[in-house]
Amino acid sequence: MAAIQPLPLPTTSSLGTLTHQSLSVPPIPRRLPQPALRFRRHLVECITHRPEISGAGCSFFHGAVGPSLADWKSTCAILSAVGRGEVDNHHHEANPVPAVVNGHESAAAATLDVVQLPRPLTIADLAPTPMHGSRLRVAYQGVPGAYSEAAAGKAYPECEAIPCDQFETAFQALQLWIADRAVLPVENSLGGSIHRNYDLLLRHHLHIVGEVQLPVHHCLMALPGVRRECLTRVLSHPQALAQCELTLSGMGLNVSREAFPDTAGAAECVAANGLRDAAAIASARAAELYGLEVLADGIQDDPSNVTRFVMLSREPIIPRTDRPFKTSIVFAQDGEGTSVLFKVLSAFAFRNISLTKIESRPHRNRPIRIVDEADGGTAKHFDYMFYVDFQASLAEARAQNALGEVQEFTSFLRVLGSYPMDMTPWPRAHNDDDGADHASNLSSQSR
Ligand SMILES: O=C(O)C(=O)C[C@]1(C(=O)O)C=C[C@@H](O)C=C1
């Protein structure tokens, strides 16, 4: 039987972040080990069995990262060493441990040179809760210091936050049991909807089990000692750049805007590359983590800037009626023009069910419908998928009746989840009601 060698972990600019590539596992032959499988086995083992990786002091799969850039880098060094087999690899060579995720043998077990016979299910296989430890593993997009990491911590206090390079990676990590939950942004009060996640929600069969609303408070940060006059560019997530556009222009900076996959990644880039002409827009925590100095605090165009995140799970929760619930659905219209939409919306209006959100996305399987076929099909209608959030629990008869009616008018209807509303009281900003105060406070901080 061939000995299984540890594989290097993926190297990206943000070491330790799950990448989309690292999750794609090719089809499994019956006997031959494959690099991707060995990597996945190694990755799964990192998460489940290796105290030096998953324990305290290592931030690879954790929300809790040491306070400084040095902590983060030493973590990366440990991980690279583990990847190269420099740390504790006797364990791998002599006695390969079957990779197990939540009580299931992972696909990596198929690499062993033995015939795999089906084994009977045990009670442990049926348990929906994690079997690997007490902490829930929550996938988010970005690197430590990203707002999404904070949202994961708000949604699941004490969780292990797993950084992922793309939204798609976070969906996959959950689907492949590498994570137990995912927390992903869907809309921002200034920037609007995060369309990519709406499309991904439709493509994956996961369930919304909750929501969190996170106040987003942006800082402009640069290397210590860099002055505002030296800046020629500002790096950040496009949403963050959009949320600060007016303020940035008002600050009189002559800077280009450069998009990054996440705000904390932009801060890390400024720090790691010693960029003295660049600033990043990110959280105060990112400034602290990557050793940057805050030049201006609270630069979002609206002091009560907030991003709404959804919490995803492989299993739905059972809807209840003892507290306010929201239900999210997606449907395709099945008829001409806007009358279908009118009928669908009236199903909710007649039952006094409030809608909290409506979003339309191109119907990817049928983006355009030709009408007027008799005349050679001149007129084209764009076809859409509609996403609607309404304020009721699926356990309520009025919600069930409304959906029954919606089904009559639509060709496709899916419930994405019925989940408790985030009812956390809104923290009132000290200068909430006075935009002028906000502006003057800003300029004094940024001097
Ligand atoms: O870049 C980050 O820090 C993120 O968590 C992503 C994200 C987003 O996708 O909207 C989340 C919250 C803020 O609205 C800005 C960016």
309 Cβ inside 6 Å of ligand 1? no
| Residue 427 identity | P
307 Cβ inside 6 Å of ligand 1? yes
Q: Please tell me the predicted confidence (pLDDT) of residue 340.
A: 83
pLDDT in tens, 312-348: 999 999 999 999 999 999 999 766 656 888 999 999 9
Catalytic residue flag (residue 386): no
190 Cβ inside 6 Å of ligand 1? no
Q: Whose CA is nearest to atom 12 of ligand 1?
A: 147
Choose among 276, 306, 280: nearest CA to 294. Answer: 280
Q: What residue ranges define each of the domains in the chain, with the CATH number in brackets? A: 20-116+134-184+194-205 (3.40.190.10), 219-306+432-446 (3.40.190.10), 324-420 (3.30.70.260)
Integer Cα distance of 9 and 25 in angstroms: 15
Q: Which among 169, 193, 263, 289 is the best mutation to test ligand 1's pocket, defined by most ligand atoms within 8 Å of the CB?
A: 263
Which pairs count as long-range contacts for 42-45, CB under 8 Å and 24+ apart, including other chains? 42/6, 42/7, 42/9, 42/83, 42/92, 43/9, 43/178, 44/99, 44/100, 44/101, 44/106, 44/108, 44/178, 45/97, 45/99
Backbone region of residue 177 per phi and psi (left: phi > 0; alpha: psi in -120 to 50; beta: other values): left
Q: What's the CA-to-centroid distance between 307 and ligand 1, angstroms?
A: 8
Integer Cα distance of 316 and 207 in angstroms: 5
> Can you list the residues of the chain whose pLDDT is less than 70?
1-16, 20-115, 122-133, 334-338, 364-381, 427-447
The total number of residues shown for the chain amounts to 447
Q: Which among 190, 195, 198, 239 is the best mutation to test ligand 1's pocket, defined by most ligand atoms within 8 Å of the CB?
A: 239
Q: Please tell me the predicted confidence (pLDDT) of residue 45.
A: 44
3-class state of residue 33 by DSSP: coil
240 Cβ inside 6 Å of ligand 1? yes
pLDDT in tens, 90-119: 333 333 333 333 333 333 333 444 567 777
* Helix or strand holding residue 389 (H, E): strand 384-390
Integer Cα distance of 168 and 4 in angstroms: 29
Which residues have a Cβ under 8 Å from the Cβ of 256 and sit 6 or more positions away?
A: 232, 233, 234
pTM over 0.80: no
Of 39, 61, 167, 309, catalytic: 309
194 Cβ inside 6 Å of ligand 1? yes
Q: Please tell me the predicted confidence (pLDDT) of residue 210.
A: 98
Q: What's the CA-to-centroid distance between 196 and ligand 1, angstroms?
A: 13
Which residues have a Cβ under 8 Å from the Cβ of 336 and sit 6 or more positions away?
A: 371, 381
Phi, psi of 150 (to 5 degrees): -65, -40
Catalytic residue flag (residue 309): yes
